[in-house]
Amino acid sequence: MLPENFPFEVELEYKTRKIETNPKWGENPRNRPIEKLIHFGVIPLDKPPNLGSHETAAFVAKFLGLKRVGHGGTLDPHVTGLLPLALERATPIASTWLTSDKMYVVIMRLHDDVPSEKVKKVLKMFEGKIYQRPPLRSAVVRKTRVRTVYKLEFLEQEDHDVLFIAHVQHGVYIRKLVVDIGDVLGCGAHMIELRRIKTGPFIEKYAKTLHDLVDAYTLWKEEGIEDELRQVILPPECGILHLPRIIINDGAVAAICYGAQLYVPGIVAFSPNIRKNDIVAILTIKGEIVALATTAMDADEIKKSSRGQVTSKTRVLMERNLYPRLWKTAKKT
């Protein structure tokens, strides 16, 4: 699942031509021991029906013997599809999925006969900025807010049932959207089926079921075969591929792990689309996730600066002992 050229799978802006890393330090994300991956990994889970998001996460935590499992956005019990899970030390990554764009396959049932051309026309009317008030049964304050519907793609219609794909900003309630579409059509409508097919960096194609997890874990525990489990539990680096990123040199890794902020001299490369106050992933040259951070500079400032503080807040994910504390070595010498 990890891109072969990770972490440079997107075009980056380079601060230096000197890109060196000591092979004795850190670990290749692809080669982490499976025991460590279980406590520091992500699962692109295909949630089954009749099971809530919290119940699903709790089941996985209990089955794997973990204290914490975070999930990437609540799905109602009857809704299926992508529910990415972050295992134990990787749980901070789950918060970045909550605010990512989503894609759903929707079946809308109309309450009267409506020609397909009219349905297509009204779906187009709901693309762009919309005002939406969360339904009664929701986890947020019920006040009107603005959200973006990027695209509503009509697929087919059979009698009163309309199949379409919704690509939306986080926080759009599809059930409420369907009701509003029915009101504009003048016939009324309700949602009869919903499936999430994309969230954060994950797409439906790579989703794994609970059965896949149970079978793969049992195979590893009983026969020591880990290949199948590695297809289900992915390195946490797979969970941040939707974020802008900053690559740092070996000398800056331990300092960040011990609580320091990132400064310009520690940067090797960075995404050219970084803005101030963005959440970014900080990675080593080997591609290991070091921390999630809030930026204090945008990409243009990072490019032009030779010094200065780049991050204002960090959430460290890497263990402290993987890279040496080089600032202490420098002080002694």
Residues annotated as catalytic (active site), given as ranges: 76
3-state secondary structure the chain: CCCCCCCCCCCCEECCCCCCCCCCCCCCHHHCCHHHHHHCCEEEEEECCCCCHHHHHHHHHHHHCCCCEEECCCCCCCCEEEEEEEEHHHHHHHHHHHCCCEEEEEEEEECCCCCHHHHHHHHHHCCEEEEECCCCCCCCCCCCEEEEEEEEEEEEEECCEEEEEEEECCCCCHHHHHHHHHHHHCCCEEEEEEEEEEECCEEHHHCECHHHHHHHHHHHHHHCCCHHHHHHCECHHHHHCCCCEEEECHHHHHHHHCCCCCEHHHEEEECCCCCCCCEEEEEECCCCEEEEEEECCCHHHHHHCCCCECEEEEEECCCHHHCCCHHHHHHHC
Which residues, in sequence order, are CB contacts of 39 under 8 Å at separation 6+? 66, 87, 88, 89
CA distances from 287 to 91, 144, 235 (A): 19, 41, 11
C-alpha distances out from residue 249 to 16, 18, 266, 273, Å: 10, 9, 6, 20
- The whole-angstrom separation of Cα 72 and Cα 68 is 14
Other beta carbons within 10 angstroms of residue 154's beta carbon come to 17
